[in-house]
Amino acid sequence: MSTLREVRDLRALSIQELSTAAGVSKSAILDAELARRRPIGRTRRKLAKALKVRVESIDWPPGR
């Protein structure tokens, strides 16, 4: 498994580009990458779809 940041880097996307592609706020992406907050299911699906990976292939931060 890879972290959200690792997958985003592999796809050569900035946070802004991923935000636009997924329809998710930049702050939500940053919070997930810094393990401040675990995204809800819908947000995880949007991010995975924009990154062209399965939701299960991303190592999401632990829930709080």
- The total domain count for the chain is 1
Q: Which of 57, 13, 5 is nearest to 36 (CA)?
A: 5
Residue 60 lies in a domain: no
pLDDT digits (tens, 9 = 90+) for 35-52: 999 999 999 999 999 999
The yes-or-no verdict on residue 9 having pLDDT over 70 is yes
Q: How confident is the model at residue 64 (pLDDT cuts 50, 70, 90)?
A: low
C-alpha span between 13 and 10 (Å, rounded): 8
Residue 39 lies in a domain: yes
Q: Say what the pTM is.
A: 0.93
Residue 62 lies in a domain: no
The yes-or-no verdict on residue 31 having pLDDT over 70 is yes
Residue 20 lies in a domain: yes
Residue 63 lies in a domain: no
Which ranges in the chain belong to alpha helices (H)? 4-10, 15-22, 26-33, 41-51
Mean per-residue pLDDT of the chain: 95
Residue 50 lies in a domain: yes
Structure tokens belonging to residue 55: 């939701």
Amino acid at 41: G
